[in-house]
Structures are given as structure tokens and as C-alpha cells.
Amino acid sequence: MKKTLYISLFLLTIFFQNFGQTPATKLADTYYENLSYVKAIKEYKMLADIDPTSYVLKRLGDSYYASLRMKEAAVTYAKLFTIYNLKEEDYIFKYAQSLKSIGRFEEALYWMEKYQKLEKPNTEVNNFPTNELVSTRKEKPRYNQEQKENNFNETLKEKFILENLYQLNTPFSDFGVTEYQSTILFSSPRKLREISTEVNEGNGGNYLDIYQVNKEEVDLKDRKRQFSKKVNAKFHESSISFSPNADVMYFTRNNFNYGDYKVDGKGYINLKIYKADYINGSWQNITELPFCSDNYSVGHPTLSKDGKLLYFVSDMPGSFGATDLFVVDIKFDGTFGTPRNLGNTVNTKGREMFPFIADDNTLYFSSDGHTGMGNLDIFESKMINQQFQLPIKLKAPFNSESDDFAFSINAKKNMGYLSSNRKGGKGDDDIYRFKKEFEEPEVCNQVVSGTVRNLKFQKYLPYSKLVVKGVNNKIIKETTADEFGRYSFQFPCNQTYVITASKEYYIPETKTFKTDKSLTIDLDLDIIDDFVFNNAKEIIIKINDIYFDYDQWDIRPDAARELDHIIKVMNKYPLMKITSTSHTDARGTDFYNESLSQKRADATVDYIIYRGIRPDRITGKGYGESRLTNKCVDNDWHTNRVYCSEKEHQANRRTAFVITNLDEIKSAAKN
């Protein structure tokens, strides 16, 4: 699959740096810089067999990566890290992505965590959740089950058929349909090799142009024609969008003007969005948009129905990930506002690409950062109160285990298009048309979403269980909140439901709601009576304080009663694991007190194990005098000694029992 040679905002660029170049690498570098990755791989592989330098391995791995030969890329990057112990962020990220693409999620997670630790500080990025790999690892085994179970986008499920537009597609990469009057436009490799016979062998040695065909002729052979010679220039063109009256067109092109290309400071040819006006029967005044730059890429434009908002993809400064979705206002006089990032609800650390804004302002796009099955999957995000909601992955037939992208839909005609390299296609990436199988009454649905939080500290509660029942007490939906406590449902309008959130060690909360409008329902859970929070906001078993005599670690009778209660609670929650944390007062040396507190912790652990609790469920940790609860600090015996009563000192000689596996277990409390 070579689509990312032409459409990924990173891999569509040409890298001209000569750093590390030697005469032996000159031919390989020439192929690489001209996007001839197949030939580059052959040359770099021969060089690597003779002398696997860091430069050669990087170029070989990047050539595999650009060609989406992820298995070979992963092997090459692994060799690079093994030999040279690299700590470069870009290569750690690409290695993680390569591993993820071939299903090695545990290893991918390890390297993504290394990438996050090395990543340079960036407030916007670091504030964004970065657990997509964890989510992917957990979601993948459930894919087939999800196909059959609850589906957020139920209006699309099992109502559309997908057909390959076989006569339009080539053996190479064809993608990105835009409706234009009675025709459709799309990107496809040109027939004539206008520049070189050795460039872009992934698309038969040709660059991409915009082609046009009448809608009624898409199933007929040899009916496509080039759209406009002025628009189709020297390099790639793709991703078209029109103003409401179709007199202005926006499209993507390499950074190319007046017969030459421009590169950024790193040697990349970036992408830009260009605007063209329809004047006297032809497209004229082709100019780049003012927020484009030689230093980053901007592409994949799509206009809102009223023509006032232009959505696009970019890796400009302020992006969360590799490529993000942005929007910019188109003013009445045709000038543009300042581009705005769509935020971390939509954008991830990966690639968000190919936006399409439907007439109802639903945003469709492809991503490899949200949880999905292929490298790229299609997602939808509803707009509610001018805010895009948590994206939802489209189900079959729209998404497959391969790459699916460039989604567009004409809701009035119940049809649309997408591109995919799924099995059974004609070539690399193929264009598919989908149609509604049968007409059904229009269904009104409302979105209900929210977050489950801890009542006391308002901290989100990951993986909380959510159950929705109808008025007849019948269960309508069951799901689990994500790692950030978030959930989302769609329900028919004007219906009454009851939602209950629950989580281990918390009291369930129930709320009643009616779907007369889109709702945000946050649920705050209070801790159950068996537990309390300590000063560190940890959940501990609720008991009376356990104290020890001065300089002793024997279990006193009053302590034994509390330990018996600990045993009772642990029997009630058989999967629970705890740590006995023991403390001393400030008298004596730090070393002695740490040793004494450990003996006290061990004494409580021994007591509990002796009475039937498995040893793997309890550990002990002594903190000495490092966590005093009052002023009785003995900083300096001679000058700063604080005199305290025996009762005050005893308050520091305490033991508590902290739950250590809160989010690892399912509800297992005995009724």
C-alpha cells in the first residue's frame, strides 16, 4: 500500500538532506530523494549487508516505512537500536508505529512509553492523554464481538452495500472522491510520465493528478479524463473541495510554483492548499492560501455547507501529533482568519487525515491514533453546541482490517465514497462507492455522554461500569468507561432512561434522563463505608487506628481487633491486594525508626497471613518517621526539639492498609 507516498502529510514530502552521504550511498540517496523507494530499498539493503552504518539503516528503515512495509521496517529499526542504542525521538516513534501496525502491541506500548519520556516538553501535547496503544491492545481482540454488539453509529450498521468502482481504479493508488455537478473528481496516477521514468514507481512512475468522470459513466471503461491542465501541475494534486456555488475550488498540491519546487529548512517539499477561481469557463488565479508555509504541510481541504469554514490537515506548530485537523474562518470578503486546532478530543499523537464535513456538520476523518483495526480507520464526530464530540469508529462495511480513508457522504442521496486497500481490490488503494440498501423512516437520535468521577476529589474513575435501563427496567445498554472515565451513547429521541455508574469500592450512582436534547451526564461516585481516603488521596480500609507501644512491634489486643476487621474485609473482596504501611514517632534516629516501622509492618502482615489470607495479597512497608501526622518533629536534639505528650507521639506510631490494585480488578464483592 503506497497511499502514504502521496497523501500522508509526512510521507508525501521529499527529503533532500545530504547529511551522512558518501559516494557509496549516492545512488541509493538519489532514489530515496526522488521517492523511488523500491529502488532505494534495493540499494540500501546491499549497503547494509556490507556496512550497516547508522545512516544506511535509518534510510533503509525509512524507505520500508514510507512504503508501508511495516514488518521490514520494524526489523530494520530493531537492528538500528541494537547496534547503535539510538535515543532519537523520531525513530523511537516510527519503531513503535511499525510494531503496532504488525500487531505486536505489547512491544509497541513499551517503545511508545520510551518515546513519551524522551519527548521534549510541550504543554499542549503533554496535557493530552497518550494511552492510545493501551486502548488498541485492549480493543483488538474484541473486534469481531463489537461488530455484532452495541454500536454507537447504528444508523450506518448493515444498511449500506459497498462496491469497487473497478473501471476507475488502476493497479496503483486511486482515492479521494469529490462530487462536482454531474461528475465526480478523484486522484489517480497520470498516464504520461511528464517528468521522469524513474520516479514514484509505487504509482507506475507517475505523479497524481485530478481526474473527472460523469457519475453515470463510472462503471464504464476508459471514461475518466484529466480535470484541468492548469490545476494538474508538475507534481501531485489531490483532495478537492468547492464553495457552495462551485465558483471557488480548494485543492492540495506540493509546494510548487512557476515551474519549480520549494523546500523547508530540513530539505522537505511540503504540501500546500491552493485556491482557484472559475472564470469564463476555466479555473484561473491559482494561489496558495495565506496560512500555508514552506516550513510545514497544509492539505486535504473540506468546506462546510455554508462555505464559511475550511477544515484541513497540517503538522504546523501547535499540533498534538504527527498531523492534526484544523479549521479556519473564511470571511465575507474572502480573506481568512487564524487557523484553529480542533483540539485533543479529535486529534491524537498519531495522524488525523482526510477530513470531510457533512451537511449536518458531522466530521468524518481517518486516523491511526484513535483505537482502530487498520493503520487508518474512518471515524465520525458529531457537532453538539459548536463542539465536536468524542470520535466514534465506523463499523463494517466502512472499516476493515486494512486502511480505510477519504470518506465522503451525500446524505440526501443515501450514498457516498471511500478509499481502501482492503482485500479483493483491483490495485493498491481503490475507490469504493456505498449505497443504502433500503429506505427506512428517518430515526431521531440524541447523544448522551459524560464522565464518571470520584465525588470527593473529582478525579476520573477509569473503566467504570455503565448500565442504561428503560422505563420497564430492561437493560438497554451496557458498557465500560474508557481510561479517562468517559462514555457516550446514542438513544432515540423523547425517551426516558435510567443510567447507573458503578465501580469497585464505590457506591453506585443512578440518574434519570429524557432524550429531548443532547445531554452531558456526569456521575460522581462516593466511596463505600468499608473504605476511606488518607491524606495522600489513596483508598485505605476503614479501621480504628492501630498503635504500637514505644519502641515495640508486638500486636496489642486493641490492634488485633482491628486486624481481624482487615481480614474480614479482605475475605469480602477476594481479589483485593493491600499494603500495610507502618510509621513511628520522631524519637530515635532515622535509620532506627525505619527499621522499627518495617518490623511493625511485618508483624501486621504475619498476623493477617497466619489467619488465612494468601501471602500474595498483602505486603508491608515501613516509613519510619518520614510521614508524621503532627508537629512532634525531632529535627535537632539540642536546639530544635519539640516537646510532645506521649499521646501525641503515639498518634505517629500508626499503621494503615492501602489498596494497591484499584483498577486491575472487576467487581467481586460478595453480596
In angstroms, the Cα distances linking 93 to 55, 90, 111, 323, 358 are 17, 5, 7, 14, 33
- Residue 428: all three cell numbers together: 493498491
Q: What is the mean pLDDT of the chain?
A: 79
More confident residue, 20 or 70: 70
Superfamily of domain 445-527: Carboxypeptidase-like, regulatory domain (2.60.40.1120)
**How does pLDDT run across 66-93, given as a tens digit for each residue?**
777 888 998 999 898 888 877 788 888 8
> Distance (Å, rounded) from C-alpha 379 to C-alpha 404?
10
Of the candidates 322, 299, 321, 303, the one whose C-alpha atom is nearest the C-alpha of residue 312 is 299
pLDDT at res. 235: 66
User: Where in the chain is CATH 3.30.1330.60?
Assistant: 531-659
Query: Which amino acid, 488?
Result: S
pLDDT at res. 664: 60
Alpha carbon 81 to chain centroid distance? 25
More confident residue, 375 or 293: 293
Mean pLDDT throughout 219-245?
A: 82
The answer to whether the CB of 233 falls within 8 A of the CB of 258 is no
Query: Is the model's pLDDT at 364 over the cut of 50?
Result: yes
- Assign 374 a pLDDT band (cuts: 50, 70, 90): low
pLDDT at res. 653: 73
Of the candidates 349, 402, 411, 401, the one whose C-alpha atom is nearest the C-alpha of residue 380 is 411
pLDDT at res. 669: 36
Question: Which pTM was predicted?
Answer: 0.49
More confident residue, 190 or 510: 510
Of the candidates 174, 169, 179, 249, the one whose C-alpha atom is nearest the C-alpha of residue 214 is 179
More confident residue, 119 or 172: 172
- Assign 408 a pLDDT band (cuts: 50, 70, 90): very high
CATH code matching the domain that covers 531-659, chosen among 3.40.50.300, 3.30.1330.60, 3.10.129.10, 3.30.700.30? 3.30.1330.60
Label residue 421 exposed, middle or buried (CB < 10 Å: 0-12, 13-18, 19+): buried
- Assign 635 a pLDDT band (cuts: 50, 70, 90): low
CATH class of 3-145: mainly alpha
**How does pLDDT run across 521-546, given as a tens digit for each residue?**
999 998 888 888 877 778 888 888 78
- Residue 570: all three cell numbers together: 479482605
pLDDT at res. 197: 29
CATH code matching the domain that covers 161-436, chosen among 1.10.275.10, 2.120.10.30, 3.40.50.720, 3.40.50.9100? 2.120.10.30
> Distance (Å, rounded) from C-alpha 42 to C-alpha 40?
5
* Greatest CA separation for the chain: 99
DSSP secondary structure string, 259-315?
A: TEE---TTSB--EEEEEEEEETTEEEEEEE-TT-BTTB-EEEEEE-TTS-EEEEEE-
